[in-house]
Amino acid sequence: MPRMRRYAESHGVDFRVMNRCDAYRRPVFAYWEAIIELCDSDYERIAILDSDILVRRGAPSLFDVPFADIAMKPSGWVSPRFLRRIHEKIADDFVVADMYNSGVILASRAYLRTIAGAIRSLGRDVEQTRFADQVYFCVMVKRTGVTPTPLSWRWNQHDQVPNFRAELAHFLHFRGPEKLPRVESFLQRNQNDEWGIDAVGAG
């Protein structure tokens, strides 16, 4: 978290922590409330980052990325079994191209305001189904009729991929229940480069 704060300060943008999920029965509701809160802010453009993102020292500003309404990294693949479950439970018109990783979201305030209706339309489905926040968010985006601008993998490089390229990434995304040991191991191996050992525990 300190690294994210320094990154924001270095580019002259405000930094806010949305950490109220423990007060909710389902964390996804806190995530949506944060979006609605941001809709009522004075910000024209908003970046939402998961807490398991590691920011490289000297990374360029995410707000320099050109986009229209919203930008996310395409997932590129969804298992047929998982896609069938999405069809059965919440969205029968959902396709692989609709799935994006929501670890890094770049959006305009105007677009986030359009998503409020999609949030309400999903309310009952959320009570009856069990999906990760990412799936619900992608379904909401689809319901707005907007196709996100593809965000480069350099802004959301997952650590558990065969072609892992930390040296070319701006943000690293450590996912899964066993991610903390992987973060610490990565920082120990790269303590003298742009990632830096001081980021241990940054989230």
Strands 149-150 and 70-74: parallel
What digits encode the pLDDT tens for the residues 61-77? 999 999 999 999 999 88
User: In this predicted structure, what is the pLDDT of residue 153?
Assistant: 92
User: In this predicted structure, what is the pLDDT of residue 25?
Assistant: 56
Count of beta carbons in the 10 Å neighbourhood of residue 21: 15
What digits encode the pLDDT tens for the residues 145-190? 999 999 999 999 877 666 677 778 899 887 766 776 666 667 666 6
- How far is the C-alpha of 200 from the C-alpha of 203, rounded, in Å? 8
pTM of the predicted model, to two decimals?
0.82
- How far is the C-alpha of 21 from the C-alpha of 3, rounded, in Å? 21
Mean pLDDT in residue range 40-66: 89
Decide if pLDDT at 202 tops 50: no
What digits encode the pLDDT tens for the residues 4-20? 888 899 999 998 887 66
What digits encode the pLDDT tens for the residues 92-151? 999 999 999 988 999 998 898 888 777 777 777 777 788 888 898 899 899 999 999 999
User: In this predicted structure, what is the pLDDT of residue 16?
Assistant: 84
Per-residue pLDDT band at 56 (split at 50, 70, 90) = confident
Decide if pLDDT at 2 tops 80: no
Query: How many Å separate Cα 8 from the centre of its chain?
Result: 16
Q: Domains of the chain by range and CATH? A: 2-199 (3.90.550)
* Whole-number percent of the chain with pLDDT over 90: 35
- How far is the C-alpha of 169 from the C-alpha of 56, rounded, in Å? 8
Phi/psi of residue 33, each to 5°? -65, -35
Query: How many Å separate Cα 134 from the centre of its chain?
Result: 8
- How far is the C-alpha of 102 from the C-alpha of 86, rounded, in Å? 17
DSSP state, residue 179 = H
Closest CA to 153 of 203, 103, 107, 202: 103
Query: How many Å separate Cα 129 from the centre of its chain?
Result: 21
User: In this predicted structure, what is the pLDDT of residue 127?
Assistant: 72
Identify the residue with better confidence: 31 or 121.
121
